Structures are given as C-alpha cells and as structure tokens.
A = this chain, B = another copy of it.
Amino acid sequence: MNIALDMMGGDFAPLETVKGAAEYVATASAGIHLTLIGDEVQINAHLASHPIPADKYTIVHAPEVIGMHEHPTKAFKEKQHSSIAIGFQLLAAGKTDAFISAGNTGAMMVGSLFSIKAIEGVLRPTIGAYMPREDGTLGLLVDAGLNADCKPENLNQFAILGSLFAKYILNFENPKVGLINLGEEEGKGNILTLATYPLLKENKQIHFIGNIEGRDILLNKADVLVCNGYTGNVVLKLAESIYDISKRRNMDDAYFNSLNFEQYGGVPVLGVSKPVIIGHGISHAMAFVNMIRIAYRMLDTDLLGKMKDSFLGQA
C-alpha cells in the first residue's frame, strides 16, 4: 500500500508534513509505504530531526510548488513539476494508491477531476465535511462547496457516496441520510429539495430518514447530511466560526472544541476513481496523521471498489 503525501502543501509544510509522516509510521501497521513528494533538500533536513525508517518511505523530488493563492487550473497546467502535479501523475499511473495534500484546494480539485477522473456513472464528484456532534461522533455533510449549484440527481449520488464513506470510514453500520431542508414535512422545501426528496426516498442503496432542519445539523439525527454546495459551504464556515468565537471567549468545552475542524485532517473527494484527500491549509502534524489514516482505511476497506459497484450500470 503506497500512500503519497504532498510535503509542500499547507501553511506549515514541510516541517509539519514530515512530523506527521514520522508520527504515522511510528504507529502504523506493516505493509504501508509513504511516497513523500516535494523539495528533497528540505524534506531530508526535517527528516534528520524526525526520522522515518528507510524502508518505509521514498522521496520523489518536486522542484516546484503551487502556491495557496495561485489560479488552480493555470498553475496545475503550467507547473507540471509541482508536488501536486507530480502527485496526480504518480496516482494516475498507478505508482501510488492514494494522494494527500493540504495545498491549493482548487489545484487539488483540478487534479482530481482531470488527472484521475470520476467513477463511471458519477455525474459530479463531491467534497464532504465532517460535522462534529455532541455525542462525539462525526457526521458527514455533502456537498461542502465543490458544487455550488446542484441537480436532484447530484444530491442523490452524494447521498450514496456519503453513505459508503460514513459506513466504511466513520463506522456507521447503516448511516442515516437526511436532506437538509427548511421544514421537516415531506411537502416542504425549495425547488431542489422538493425534487430530490422522492429520489432519496426511492433509493434502495441508502437509509433515508427524511428532511432535517438547520437545528438538526449538529445532532445525530442524520449521519449523512445532504445539500447543495452553496448552502453546505455556508453551514461549514458558520460552524467553524463557532469554534473561533468560543476560543476568543476563553471557553474550553469539549463539544465546542470539537468544532475545531483542523484536527480532522481533511476530507476526501468522493466520486473520483482513486483516494484523494484535501487537507485544511492550516494543518499541523496531527491533521496529516489523520489524513494518512483515512487514506489507509479507504484502501484497506476497498471503499473505491464499493463505490464503483454502487454505480455499475448507471453510466
């Protein structure tokens, strides 16, 4: 199992990426090999203080870096020797099995959609966000901002992809799917949710529990929370701001602390044909450890194979 990590991605790279990789290897099960992509000199310098056994990793030198504020499509096309571009080249060629980066999100999306492509039958891949609940579990919000405008069929597919992720990675045996709406009753909604409801209701691949409201998002009423990417992005950033407010007000409450999204590492791009995980720009070592763990679990459970099976015949 060969998991590749963009060592140059994120505000604290490469120090924190090296630390994360070293911490992960120290506790990892056998059979995992890390491919560390980035500036060889810098990586080696940090490895001196945070060593990894030589048989556990390979460095692939990348002389370029895509900056956080560069134009994604342009940078991805022009910087073919950047750590992100090389990461996707290796993944597409089957030389690595998963790719993780906390770098330029847009460039990661360009790579996900154009270098490795969507699973056959998936109309639009999606990006999820964890929603921490009071009971300590994590729900999954899909879409968290990749698809600003959605069609009912998109939301229906997000529900399938999100349910598989919730089952195999978040460990819900039969994840409950809720449609985020402005009322609980079946007849409530906007044009999109009204048209989506019957699709979810008839979808035998998911456990649909009906509409949920804004007040239910941080509860465990549903494990997979489905909405359009515009609304999902507003919800995610509003929830993130609650953590910031609680810190400014010197609070130290376990639940409000759990709204520190940085700690969860990153969210996978769901619906693309290989495991790709995009991290938060301000990721520290713990976030990278968590992202490598998620990538490992995605491979170990053959999540992608299960997703492909789900969309067989829908192409």
Contacts and interface: CB of A to CB of B under 8 A. Distances in A.
Contacts of A256: 249
A253 to B, nearest CB: 6
A214 B229 contact: no
Given A189-B148, A230-B193, A234-B180, A134 B214 contact: no
B230 A134 contact: no
A309 interface: no
Contact of A190 (B182, B216, B230): B230
A230 B227 CA distance: 11
A40 interface: no
A215 interface: yes
**Chief secondary structure at chain A's binding surface:** helix
A143 to B, nearest CB: 10
Interface in A229-272: 229-231, 233-242, 244-245, 248-249, 251, 253, 255-256
A302 interface: no
Contact of A217 (B145, B233, B238, B251): B238
Interface centre among A228, A234, A236, A240 (most CB of B within 10 A): A234
B253 A240 contact: no
Interface string A144-156: 0100110000000
A237 to B, nearest CB: 3
Contact of A238 (B230, B238, B255): B238
A186 interface: no
Interface residues of A, number: 42
A183 to B, nearest CB: 8
A227 B245 CA distance: 23
B249 A253 contact: yes
B218 A241 contact: yes
Contacts of A180: 234
A191 interface: yes
A237 B214 contact: yes
Contacts of A230: 181-182, 189-190, 192-193, 231
Interface string A110-138: 00000000000000000000000010000
A215 B237 contact: yes
B241 A182 contact: no
A166 B264 CA distance: 39
B214 A234 contact: yes
Nearest to A147: B190
A240 B248 CA distance: 20
A244 B214 CA distance: 13
Interface of A: 134, 145, 148-149, 180-182, 189-193, 213-219, 227-231, 233-242, 244-245, 248-249, 251, 253, 255-256
